[in-house]
Every structure is written in structure tokens, then in C-alpha cells.
Amino acid sequence: MKQTLTLILSSFLYLIAYQSYGQKKFLTGEVTFKNGTVRKGFIKYENWNINPRKIEFKDSTTTPATTLTAEQINAFTITTEEIKENYQLYAVRIDTSDQTLENMSQTIKPEPKELSLFLQKLVSGKVSLFNAKISSSRNHYFTIKDGHQPEELLHKQYKIGSAIAENSYFREQLMFLLDDCPVISALNIKKLRYLEKELVNVISEYNRCINGESPQDFRRKDYKLAPVFSVFVEPSYNKLSVSTDSFDLLARFKGSIGLSAGLTTEFFIPRSDKRTSLFIDLGYKNYRFKGDNEPRHVFSFRDEIETHFHYGIFNIGVRKYLGGRVIKPFADLKFSNAFLLANDRLVRRYRQDTGGQQSTFSYFQHIRKHEQGGQLTIGGEVGKVDIGATFGISNGFSGYMSTKTTIHRTGLSLRYKF
């Protein structure tokens, strides 16, 4: 059984990698040339970890791709249902201080360099916010106010002996930049961290304050508490232990494959950038276990044990998406409740030596009326499909002979959103 589950898990991990590779494809978008001409077509989306210096562009899906550089275009935009990204070309002064621990600078001063970069627009308004990455280890954020040239919000780590200090001059920059909005206080800015989410929030709040309307935020979508529905299937490998007041069933059950399936309703928490959600699972699951037992009494019994669980399930959980554009890593934690639907019994068959003869008996016990537990899932979402590895534990109890059961499980979670 373990080998079968390992094979299934390996196959789905391969599928994730394959789908990730396949997502490097041409998506709908447009480019703006140096002469102001705008052309619609298809841009090869590569989930850039570093801001691109060039792109591949097609006028249609059947025409060959053309490479476009900063010498030819000023801007490009990708627009699909799931991805909306805008890049604009600017000549900027950017701090190039090394932020890796091994080569970290020992001076508080920035080390600026002039570069022409495609900056990714995060917020558009009276003050616009942009992001740039010239290395995978560091984010740089820029602001433009009233159409002037971009200015980097300066944040730098540096070494003082063996300690690491921070130059957080970006807070002073924001106090000066946003001082014409009384809603944004200096106290709030002093608490800001150099994180995209917090910078997006404060710049958006400023634009609302100045313009009296919500600015266009390229990284946010609708904040309505609209449900997202999906179906799920969760095969799992399970280990069962059972104990009662009358006999011991702790060590002899074999592992077994179980299955859960049902419907999920997911609600994204408003103003969380669609990165945090609450969800509810409704569905069905079953387990079947077989094993042996040797009761502690004077007769020479040898038990064959079989138990089969059928449950309706009601789970409540929270999910956190960890970023990403094509593959979106996530982790979720849920509290699970399961209630008896059908047969839920322990069948014990044993042979008893009586005067040189053997007799066979069978009897039934309800050992698990309901169960409660928790489950952690870690995985990735690709389009409408998410695949994850699950780790869970549940406890059950029946008043019959004070029976207690525990199931440990590992498995897969497969969900499709519709």
C-alpha cells in the first residue's frame, strides 16, 4: 500500500513540474513602441523572478515570435483572467549594494547605479508604486508623484562587526511624499516594513485620500466576499490504533488506503490580496482496516479483526497562499468533523479450543460514532487545479466499552475549481 501511495504522489509531483514548465507560454497582451504605437498580440510569460530586459512577442498565435528590447519598446502589459502585469521603461538610479550575508556591505550609504529597467507597476494614482528586481535576493520599490521621475524608496541592510543593521530611509521619504494627506500619520509610516503589501496599502490609502476614489491597483482584484467552489478527492494511507476498557487492540492493525471526496466552498478574506481564505468541506470518506488481536485472558483465542468506517464530513479551515504567479504555493490547516453514515463496526472472528475441537465465532461492536481531528496540507495551485500533500490525525470515541480510536494519515489532496 505504501508503495502504491508513493507512486501516486510521485506522479502528481511530476505533473506539477510539467504543468509549471508548460505555463511558460504566450499570453494576451500589448506593447507600446518608442513612437507611441500600441500593438496587441501575445507575450511569452516567464514568471519573471528578475525584471525582464527583453520579451518575445507575437501578433497572433500562428506567427513567429519577435524579440523586443528596451531599444524598441517603452512598455508592455499582460492581461488574462488570472494575470495582469504592467511594465514601463524608466532610467533610474538604483542601489546595487549586495544584501547576501556573505558579501553584505559594511557601509550605511547606498551604492547607486544608473540603469534602464522595465519597472513593474503595482499601484497607479497621484503617487504610483513600482517594483524592480535586479537580483533574486532583493526587491526595490520606486514611487512616481505627479508624473515626475521615479525615486527609489531606500532600504538597505549592512554589517556593523558581526551584527546586521538597517538603513530604513524609505520611511522619511514617504513622510515627505505623502505629507499632503492628513489621514496618513507619521506614526503609521514609522511602523511600516519594507514589504510589498504594506507599501501598496499606504500608497493606495494616500491616493484615496487625495482623489476621493479608489486607485487602480494592478495586484488586487475584487474584494467582494464571493464564494469559490471546488470539488476535492483525497486518497490517503492510514494507520489505526484502537483501545477499549475490555481488550487491547493497539498493535496489530495493518495500514490501509482510504478515500475522502466532496465539495469545498472557499471565501477570500477581504483586503488580503487574495492570499488568505476560509473554506468549508462537505463530503464523504471511508476507511477499512484488517488485523489480528490476542485478547488477554486464559482461553487460547486468536482474533481476526476487520473494521469499516463510513462518514459524512464537515471541515472548516484556513488557507494561506504564499505568492507566485503561475504556481501558487499554499498551506492550509483544517479542523475536521466526521459523523456516522452507515456501517461502523468492528468484526472479530476467533477460534477457541474446546476439548480438542475448534469453534468459530463472530460478533460486532460499534466502536466509532464520530471523529474529530486536524489536517495540514502543503502544495501548489496551477490554474484551476491544486495538488498538495496531506498530514492528519483524528480521534474517535464510542460509549460502547469506552472504545477510543486514533487514525494517522498521509496522502494527497486534489482540487478542481469551477
Domain locations along the chain: 25-82, 96-220, 227-417
Instruction: Give the pLDDT score at 29.
Output: 94
Q: Which residues of 51-77 are buried (b: 16+ CB within 10 A; e: fewer)?
A: bbeebbbeeeeeeeeeebeeeebbbbb
CB within 8 Å of 137: residues ≥ 6 apart = 99, 100
Judge contact between 143 and 84, C-beta under 8 A. Answer: no
SS (H, E, C) the chain: CHHHHHHHHHHHHHHHHHHHHHCCCEEEEEEEECCCCEEEEEEECCCCCCCCCEEEEECCCCCCCEEEECCCEEEEEEECCCCEEEEEEEEEEEECCCCCCCCCCCCCCCCEEEEEEEEEEEEECCEEEEEEEEECCEEEEEEEECCCCCEEECCEEEEECCEEEEECCHHHHHHHHCCCCCCCCHHHHHCCCCCHHHHHHHHHHHHHHHHCCCCEECCCCCCCCCEEEEEEEEEEEEEEEEECCCCEECCCECCEEEEEEEEEEEEECCCCCCCEEEEEEEEEEEEEEEEEECCCCCCCCCEEEEEEEEEEEEEEEEEEECCCCCEEEEEEEEEEEEEECCCCEEEEEEEEEECCEEEEEEEEECCCCEEEEEEEEEEEEECCEEEEEEEEEEEEEECHHHEEEEEEEEEEEEEEEC
* pLDDT score recorded for residue 377: 94
Condensed to tens digits (0 to 9), the pLDDT of residues 279-290 reads 999 998 887 777
- The domain 25-82 having CATH identifier 2.30.30: the answer here is yes
Residue 397's φ and ψ, nearest 5 degrees, are -150, 140
| C-alpha dihedral (77, 78, 81, 82), degrees to nearest 10 | -110
CA distance 302 to 241: 18
pLDDT at 298: 47
Worst-scoring range by mean pLDDT, 187-191, 299-303, 314-318?
A: 299-303
Q: What mean pLDDT comes out for the span 376-380? A: 93
pLDDT tens column, 24-40? 588 999 999 999 999 99
Cα three-residue angle 106-117-109, rounded to 5 degrees:
20
227-417: CATH class: mainly beta
Residue 292: its pLDDT value, please? Answer: 67
Q: Which three cell numbers stand for residue 100?
A: 547576501
74-95 pLDDT per residue, tens:
999 998 877 889 999 999 999 9
Q: Are 267 and 253 in contact (CB under 8 A)?
A: no
pLDDT at 50: 87
Distances (CA, A) of 290 to 240, 256, 273, 286, 293: 10, 8, 47, 14, 10
* Residue with the three cell numbers 504556481: 327
Mean pLDDT over the full length of the chain: 79
Distances (CA, A) of 171 to 149, 196, 199, 273: 19, 14, 10, 23
In this prediction, residue 52 carries a pLDDT of: 92
Please state, in angstroms and rounded to a whole number, the distance separating the CA atoms of residues 395 and 373.
6
Listed ranges 129-138, 214-223, 236-245, 265-274; the one with the highest mean pLDDT: 129-138
Residue type, position 241, single letter: S
Q: Per-residue pLDDT tens for 305-343?
A: 677 777 888 999 999 988 666 688 999 999 988 876 655
| Spatial distance between the Cα atoms of 394 and 378, rounded to a whole number of angstroms | 18
Cell output for 399: 460509549
The confidence band for 156, taking pLDDT boundaries of 50, 70 and 90, is: very high
CA dist., res. 384 & res. 113, Å (int): 42
State whether the Cα torsion 104-109-113-115 is positive or negative. positive
d(CA 62, CA 64): 7
